[in-house]
Amino acid sequence: MRAGVTVATMKNLETVAKHLYCRTLGIVSRSEHPYATHLPVLVGVASAFQPQMVLEFGSGDFSTLTFLDKVAFPSVLRVDSYENNLEWLQHLQTKLADNPRVACHYFDGRMKDVVSGDIVEAADLIFIDDSPTGWERAHTVKKVARICSERQLTIVHDYDLPGIRVACRKFEHRFSFTSFTPQCCAVWNGDPQRKTLLEGVALRLQENAAHLDVVDARGWAKVFCPNSQIDSIRAIPSEI
């Protein structure tokens, strides 16, 4: 009986602790598409910063394929995507149809070990969404923080996870996007003024979060480039 009470008490305490954690960090209800909540953030950030060279750790439909959509990411000229799950990468490559603007790189090891000055140097925008656990991804975040210069802006997915949150503190600056859960965080070294542009992106995300699906890349492109002639279609076009 006493053990039963103790278990119930522990569960209640856990629920209260989780509630307080979410409230303190501004964590809203989890999205129906938890693997895609970075998509609106990336569209907005790309519209504000116009990156040409994108470097990504952790490949997939909602990032690699979407970066290649010229309507959602008109400034992007090249995407270098690093993946350490061969099966997953091969599956993705069948959808890329030898697109000359993307290079998929398989790395046999922990993602943090592929991060080097050589590959980071050329990037304008870095997206970190690798590995099956936040703890493993946190190592990638720390390594990028150590290596990148003041040029790159990095977006980290799943910022609401404690390990990733702590890892992001290795950068000089952080700006979190809280309209969707899982959250994203923009991190960078150097110019603190970047925050002003990021605040503008966050405002648009907040204004549209209730009525626009996170996977509607072109819908989000319309939000951030209202003068462009874009038909809001949910699917990523085949002519990437």
- Cβ distance 91 to 116 under 8 Å? no
Closest to ligand SAM by CB, 81 vs 208, is 81
Question: 34-52 b/e with 16+ CB inside 10 Å = b?
Answer: ebbbbbbbbbbbbbbbebe
Residue of minimal Cβ distance to ligand SAM: 60
Near ligand SAM in 52-81, by CB under 6 A: 58-63
Contact call for residue 182 and ligand SAM (CB under 6 A): no
Contact call for residue 129 and ligand SAM (CB under 6 A): yes
Contact call for residue 44 and ligand SAM (CB under 6 A): no
Rounded to a whole number of angstroms, the minimum distance from the CB of residue 3 to ligand SAM is: 38
72: Cα separation from own chain's centroid: 15
Contact call for residue 192 and ligand SAM (CB under 6 A): no
Q: Which of 80, 124, 130, 216 binds ligand SAM (CB under 6 A)?
A: 130
Rounded to a whole number of angstroms, the minimum distance from the CB of residue 33 to ligand SAM is: 10
Q: Which has the closest alpha carbon to 37: 176, 182, 160? A: 182
* DSSP 8-state class, residue 98: T
Rounded to a whole number of angstroms, the minimum distance from the CB of residue 176 to ligand SAM is: 18
Q: Which has the closest alpha carbon to 151: 128, 183, 124? A: 124
CA 65 to each of CA 56, 82, 146: distance values in angstroms, whole numbers, following the listed order: 12, 13, 28
Binding site residues, ligand SAM, CB under 6 A: 35, 58-63, 83, 85, 88, 129-132
